[in-house]
Structure 1
Amino acid sequence: MMTALSDPRFTRAVSDDGSLATPFMKCLARLVRAHDSYGLWKDKCDAELLANFTVTEEQRRAIPVIGDPEPDVLLRLDLFYAAVGVVIEERSGLLISRTLEISDEGIGRVLFTTRRLVVLSKTLRDVHRFGFNTLGKCAKTGTKLVKDAIKSIETYPDVARA
């Protein structure tokens, strides 16, 4: 259920290319909803909840990279990569461990492992400006990360299950 909203971020998200229906975006919406301990977001549609993952070029330029990354940016980053890990688990049937390390300068690494296999390793830069131009880009990026991890698991199944 999506509603038309007056905020351009939501309008762009709602009129997106159907990316909210992907398993990755559904998982991301579930994780965002899990942070709503008081039920304030229960009436919001997924597009409205996930609109914070979109950052326009103008917004990106306005974000200073000096100082620690903002807590809301770190939460978005954590939720995004948590969703990647959950979808990898759902698709592979394996337990996935995620390690996310970010420095004060906004540089870091995210690492996904299962048993003895590193299924995905990604260097993070410019974390201060983490976000996507559209929800479609968010879905595409998350889905690609999941596919890459699944490909690693399928390439080395003995190591993944050792």
Structure 2
Amino acid sequence: MDTENIKHPIIQGLLRLIRAEDRSGAYDTELDEDLIAPFIVTKAQKRDLPMFDDPDPDILMRVGQFYAAVAWEVERRTGKPVAPLMNIHHEGWGKALLICGRLVAVNSHVRELHRFGFEDLAVLIEKAGKLADEGVASIEKFPDVAEA
């Protein structure tokens, strides 16, 4: 596993969220690499998945955790509270929004949810970073709306 990228603030935020949702304490002794592993889906693995399928609840949970980690990163950078909202159709497509005050700071389309994952941690960090940059830029451009 990529031990350098596992230290990135976005990955560390995602790991905190994963562990926070563990009510039984089972993840307390799990390695970071094992907890983040389900987010890594190679192109070869995606090719083996059917083109259309209903996403299972674990995948929906991972998508929610990913966008919550991005929201957390935007909060860390701006000091403003940011909330993720998702509206996902049972066939695996929809929207994920990051809301700050009355501002839609990020509006992201999701599709092929049953294939959700990233080639490696660097790609996950890059995608999350771009979304966080978008959220920060929106909040900086419209601070009055973000405060409302």
Q: TM-score if structure 2 supplies the norm length?
A: 0.91
Q: For the Cα contact (< 8 Å) 2:15–2:35, is it kept in 1?
A: yes
Code of the residue aligned with 2:73 in structure 1: it is V
User: Structure 1, residues 58-110: CA drift from partner, whole Å, max 9, x if none?
Assistant: 21122224342111111111110111112212221212222101112211001
Q: Which residue of 2 aligns with 1:161?
A: 147
Out of 65, 82, 103, which is 1:117 matched to? 103
Out of 36, 46, 53, which is 1:60 matched to? 46
Which structure 2 residues correspond to residues 87-106 of structure 1 after superposition, within 5 A? 87-106=73-92
Code of the residue aligned with 2:47 in structure 1: it is R
For 1:26 and 1:138, locate their aligned partners in 2 and report how far apart those are by CA, in whole Å: 12
For 2:53 and 2:6, locate their aligned partners in 1 and report how far apart those are by CA, in whole Å: 33
Out of 12, 16, 26, which is 1:26 matched to? 12
Question: SS where residue 20 of structure 1 aligns?
Answer: helix
Q: For the Cα contact (< 8 Å) 1:87–1:146, is it kept in 2?
A: yes
Deviates more, 1:119-128 or 1:87-96: 87-96
Q: For the Cα contact (< 8 Å) 2:102–2:145, is it kept in 1?
A: yes
For 2:93 and 2:133, locate their aligned partners in 1 and report how far apart those are by CA, in whole Å: 24
Code of the residue aligned with 2:35 in structure 1: it is L
For 2:21 and 2:84, locate their aligned partners in 1 and report how far apart those are by CA, in whole Å: 19
Code of the residue aligned with 1:137 in structure 2: it is V
Deviates more, 1:63-72 or 1:132-141: 63-72
Larger radius of gyration: 1
Corresponding position: 1:126 with 2:112: yes
Q: For the Cα contact (< 8 Å) 1:63–1:129, is it kept in 2?
A: yes
Q: Which residue of 1 aligns with 2:130?
A: 144
Task: Report how many residues are paired.
Answer: 148
Q: TM-score if structure 1 supplies the norm length?
A: 0.84
Q: For the Cα contact (< 8 Å) 1:20–1:139, is it kept in 2?
A: no
